[in-house]
Amino acid sequence: MVGRDSVEPPSGERRDFGTRRLDGVSPHHLDRREFLKATVAAASVAALQNASAAKPAESAPTDLIDVNVNLSRWPLRRLPCDDTVALVAKLRANGVTQAWVGSFDTLLHRDLAAVNARLVDECRRHGKGLLVPFGSVNPKLPEWEDDLRRCAEEHHMPGIRLHPNYHGYKLDDPDFAKLLRLATERGLVVQLALIMEDRRMMHPLLQVEPPDVAPLAGVVKKTPGLRLVLLNSMNVLRGQPLLNLLQAGEVCVEIAMLEGVGGVANLLAQAPASRVLFGSHAPLFYFESALLKLKESPQNEEQLRAIRCDNARRVLAKKS
């Protein structure tokens, strides 16, 4: 007699059930619930084993170099991770192995020598091996050549970051052209931030228009050896003006302000992958937003590695 909570083997299969075991227990000694649980567990294990066997081995993740990061405080509001320690933790948690950093203080402070010294100190104390300082130079301030010299000779920075719209000069200004020439002679990378935030987010008393980029291609052509990285340019620079700049010299762009579905794929349809860098504009923008732009646009492994790290390494290593 078989109880109602037991499972009776079908006729002719009693011997087989007696010798087959699920998780080491004979079905003769299982009630209905235990038998079903054991069966489901065994099926799940088999499915996982089959899936693992069919899944190709994933390649090791590549390094990630973020060329667009800022330290200090945004002047108009507090931001998540606007503390250097917290920002470094965020970058490391997301796999960043190197970050090119400027300072928010650059925008409104006049003593850029002090700003650059603080930037170097922050990088040394909190992000050595991760944070790479890019100092600021304003060619409309007195003795700006000394600021440039200190960036190269005293702080040993690999490059500088410029903010023409906050510092009050145009891209056809002779002092701007002179700055590019002197920076190139010193072997410095030049980062040019076209904007810092969307106009809709700007304070009414701090409306800062992006610079007119029309003269920039001509200036680049007249500065052989210049390595120029455009920051926050993708919502103000596209189409033929973008192509003209990329063809003028060693000019690269980053992806922080790319908008729309498939933004990276659309950019690669216009620009060679060798001119595209990874940038997050953290902490003003959410870092994860930049990562998602890489994931939602399909790229082959070579393109992905180029954008994540190889292009930035090439730009940083090349000397004029």
Q: How far is CA 2 from the centre of its chain?
A: 66
> What pLDDT digit, counting tens, does each position of 106-137 carry?
999 999 999 999 999 999 999 888 999 999 99
d(CA 222, CA 27): 84
Sketch out the chain's domains with CATH numbers: 14-54 (no CATH), 64-317 (3.20.20.140)
Q: What is the pLDDT of residue 167?
A: 97
Higher pLDDT, 316 or 56: 316
Q: Cβ(248)–Cβ(220) under 8 Å?
A: yes
Q: What is the pLDDT of residue 261?
A: 83
Rg, the chain, Cα only: 29
Higher pLDDT, 185 or 270: 185
Q: Answer positive or negative: Cα dihedral of 163, 168, 170, 175.
A: negative
Q: Cβ(91)–Cβ(282) under 8 Å?
A: yes
- Give me the count of residues in the chain: 320
Q: What angle do CA 281, 64, 266 make, to 5 degrees?
A: 65
Q: What is the mean pLDDT of residues 135-155?
A: 97
Q: What is the mean pLDDT of residues 147-153?
A: 98
H or E element, residue 99: strand 96-103
Higher pLDDT, 233 or 12: 233
For residue 32, what are the contacts with CB-CB under 8 A and spacing of at least 6? Answer: 5, 6, 7
Residue with tokens 């304070």: 203
Q: What is the pLDDT of residue 297?
A: 80
Average pLDDT, the chain: 85
> What pLDDT digit, counting tens, does each position of 214-232 carry?
999 999 999 999 999 999 9
Q: What is the pLDDT of residue 91?
A: 97
Given a cut of 90, whether residue 287 has pLDDT beyond it is yes
pLDDT > 90 in the chain, percent: 69
The helix/strand/coil state of 280 is coil
The DSSP code for 29 is G
For residue 242, what are the contacts with CB-CB under 8 A and spacing of at least 6? Answer: 253, 270, 271
Q: What is the pLDDT of residue 61?
A: 58
Phi and psi at 21, nearest 5°, equal -135, 145
The runs of H, that is alpha helices, within the chain are 14-19, 32-54, 84-93, 112-126, 144-149, 164-167, 174-185, 216-221, 239-248, 263-270, 287-296, 301-305, 311-317
Q: What is the pLDDT of residue 29?
A: 45
Q: What is the mean pLDDT of residues 66-84?
A: 95
Given a cut of 80, whether residue 75 has pLDDT beyond it is yes
> What pLDDT digit, counting tens, does each position of 86-95 carry?
999 999 999 9
Q: Cβ(94)–Cβ(133) under 8 Å?
A: no
Given a cut of 90, whether residue 99 has pLDDT beyond it is yes
Given a cut of 80, whether residue 318 has pLDDT beyond it is no
pLDDT classification of 319: cutoffs 50, 70, 90? low
> What pLDDT digit, counting tens, does each position of 152-197 carry?
999 999 999 999 999 999 999 999 999 999 999 999 999 999 999 9
